[in-house]
Amino acid sequence: MRELRDWLAASGLCIALATGAAATGARAAEGEQVTVTGEVIDTWCYYSGVMGWYDTVVGSAHHTCAMWCAAGGIPVGILADDGTVYMVMKWEGDPEIADGTAMLDVQSQRITANGTLHKVDDINYLMVAEVVANEGIVNRSHEDFGVVPPFAFPDPNKDK
């Protein structure tokens, strides 16, 4: 009997853990007020490796490509110093940001932003309310990696 009770308890726990994702699927929530400091990045190139390794697709090396991706509607992120990526879903309160225009000027820059964090299924969704500091581009990654991808900086001599 005790064995059965233990089994039911254990299985109940497992089922609860296993179905947790369903219970925490998209739903409206209050969120948590946070202040985040980090570099504004192109998240597709960062996660997918399509243009190169992680260190090469941040900073000045990747600045032009980051603008392309933001303008193309790819989610913009803030890469914090501990490696956490915050996916920006609102910019200064505006949710209509997927044409990238509002965030073109801050690509590759190190900023500090206040906002509301919603963590759902291991993604950190950040509703940026206000940018409170901007240090500009501090990661001069082109000095180590050149421009990534190289065609983001066309050879000026070829146009002559």
Partner 1 sequence: MRILGMIAAVALLAGPALAQDFSEGSEAKSWNLTGERKARFAAKVVDAPCALTGDCPEDCGAGLRQMVLIREADGKTLLTFKNVQPIFTGATVDLAAYCGQTVTVDGLLVGDPEYTKGAEIMQVQIVTTADGTAAKTNQWSKDWAAKNPDVGGKGPWFRRDPRINDRIAKTGRLGLGLEEDQKYIEENF
Provide the Cα torsion 66, 69, 75, 78; round to 10°: 0
Among 36, 38, 44, 57, binds partner 1 (CB under 8 A): 44
The pattern of x and - marking residues 97 through 136 that bind partner 1 according to CB under 8 A reads xxxxx--xx-xxx--------x-xxxx-x-x---------
> Which C-beta is closer to partner 1: that of 47 or that of 112?
47
Among 34, 55, 71, 114, binds partner 1 (CB under 8 A): 71
Nearest Cα residue to 70 out of 47, 41, 95: 41
Is residue 25 part of the contact set for partner 1 (CB under 8 A)? yes
Nearest Cα residue to 87 out of 116, 49, 48: 116
Nearest Cα residue to 91 out of 82, 101, 81: 101
Among 34, 90, 112, 129, binds partner 1 (CB under 8 A): 90
